[in-house]
Amino acid sequence: MTLRRPATAVLSAVLLVPLAACGGDGGKEDGAAAGPALTVLAASSLTDVFETAGAAYEKDHPGARITFSFAGSQELAAQVRQGAPADALVTADAKTMDGLRAETGKPTVIAKNRLVIAVAEGNPEKVDELEDLADRKLKVVLAAPEVPVGRYSEQILGRQGIEVRPVSEEPNVRAVLSKVELGEADAGLVYRTDAASAEDKVDAVAIPDARNAVAEYPAATLKTSKRSEAAAAFVTWLSGPEARKILKEAGFQQP
């Protein structure tokens, strides 16, 4: 895995290497005193919005540096349990965060999301509703059931009694979206915000709220962080007005 400089998104399943490239507390960069260098593990569906949020935080906190590592929430949980050198965690569901109570501080929900059906631009297969996903002629891709968006998908389809046989089960929501973007699948269930991030490549078929699921994004500090005060400050900022505005503009719902 490669970690990039502050506020740069990376897709990663492993974060078990020293973060020397990011510097440390009290280091120097370009002749100025560098602030805390924080590493934040975040759900894949936050990739784009956290690019913006990280840049805004660094602008408001001179010297602060944020490095994100994005992956499916289940992968992030594994990294935490393996002792990954990180400072904060944001997952796409409360269940994953609740399973890490011994490793985290008290979590705070910073945003919510809903699912849509992602289809190729122009919706050539004429997918109009959830029931259409049961068509065996349709190539449907879903996230694996251990992934939050995969569990939400199972919940939505199960409630309606809709049986879908996916051509693949992906490790995170961005992988599902990519399959549809590349034409390797006709449709897939993704978060509304992910579909919006690729609106020039895919269309989104809305799922009525009564048939949908609400995804929650809890954020928490990690007890192993060596920058606990700075990590707590960032998690608090994520619940503040500026971060909420950024999240809302990206299509996330308020908590």
The three-point CA angle 210-215-218 to 5° equals: 150
Residues facing 33 on adjacent strands:
28
Closest by CA to 234, choosing from 36, 3, 10, is 36
Angle at CA of residue 48, ends 47 and 51, nearest 5°: 90
Residue 16's pLDDT band, with cuts at 50, 70 and 90, is very low
* 35 pLDDT tier (thresholds 50, 70, 90): low
pLDDT in tens, 208-254: 999 999 999 999 999 999 999 999 999 999 999 999 999 999 999 99
Tell me which CATH homologous superfamily contains domain 20-111+216-249. Answer: Periplasmic binding protein-like II (3.40.190.10)
For 125-151, the pLDDT digits (tens) are 999 999 999 999 999 999 999 999 999
pLDDT at residue 23 tops 60: no
- Name the amino acid, one letter, at 151: R
pLDDT score of 159 more than 70: yes
Q: Indicate the pLDDT class of residue 34, thresholds 50, 70 and 90.
A: low
The rounded distance, in Å, linking the Cα atoms of 77 and 81 is 6
- Reply yes or no on whether the pLDDT at 32 is more than 80: no
Bridge partners (DSSP) of residue 11 are 70
Which residue matches tokens 């009564």?
210
The answer to whether domain 20-111+216-249 and domain 113-214 are alike in fold is yes
Q: pLDDT per residue over 63-112, tens digit each?
A: 999 999 999 999 999 999 999 999 999 999 999 999 999 999 999 999 99
Domain boundaries, the chain: 20-111+216-249, 113-214
Q: What is the pLDDT of residues 169-211, one digit of tens each?
A: 999 999 999 999 999 999 999 999 999 999 999 999 999 999 9
Per-residue pLDDT at 8 exceeds 60: no
Query: Which residue is associated with the tokens 């046989």?
Result: 165
CB atoms within 10 A of CB 60: 11
User: Nearest CA to 147 among 43, 47, 46, 251?
Assistant: 43
Query: In the predicted model, what is the mean pLDDT of residues 26-53?
Result: 76
Q: Which two tokens stand for residue 102?
A: 């011994």
Q: Where are the beta strands (DSSP E) in the chain?
A: 28-29, 32-33, 37-43, 65-71, 88-90, 108-120, 140-143, 168-170, 187-191, 202-206, 214-221
pLDDT value of position 10: 38
Report, as an integer, the average pLDDT of 41-57: 97
Residue 9 confidence class, pLDDT cut points 50, 70, 90? very low
Domain 113-214 in CATH 3.40.190.10? The answer is: yes
- pLDDT of the residue at 30: 38
Average pLDDT over residues 160-175: 97
